[in-house]
Amino acid sequence: MLNLAAPRMTTAEIVYHLPDHPHVLQSFVWQQFDVAPDFPGLRKFLEFWSLNLEGKLHSVNVAYAAGGGRGRVHHARHELSLH
């Protein structure tokens, strides 16, 4: 059974509007140990962002490590580069 009260590695992709070009979106990756499902650390960071940074938030995608065991490494089969 998964213990959601334990901190797990949490990754959030924060997509925001560039302040000087609001029609352009940019991505920022935030990563920290946090507690699901409320994610208090992420909420605190997003509140800081909203109050102190000029880039208006567009969306936030969250993923977290659900397993309690040792991490596994998977190698990418494909790599894409976009300029």
Give the chain as a DSSP string.
---TTS-EEEEEEEEEE-SS-TT-EEEEEEEEEE-TTT-HHHHHHHHHHHHH-SS-EEEEEEEE----S-------S------
pLDDT tens-digit profile of 20-76? 999 999 999 999 999 988 899 999 999 999 999 999 999 999 988 766 555 565 555
At residue 71, φ and ψ (nearest 5 deg) are -70, 155
pTM exceeds 0.85 for this model:
no
Q: Does residue 62 contact residue 39 with C-beta atoms inside 8 Å?
A: yes
Domains of the chain, CATH where assigned: 8-64 (3.10.20)
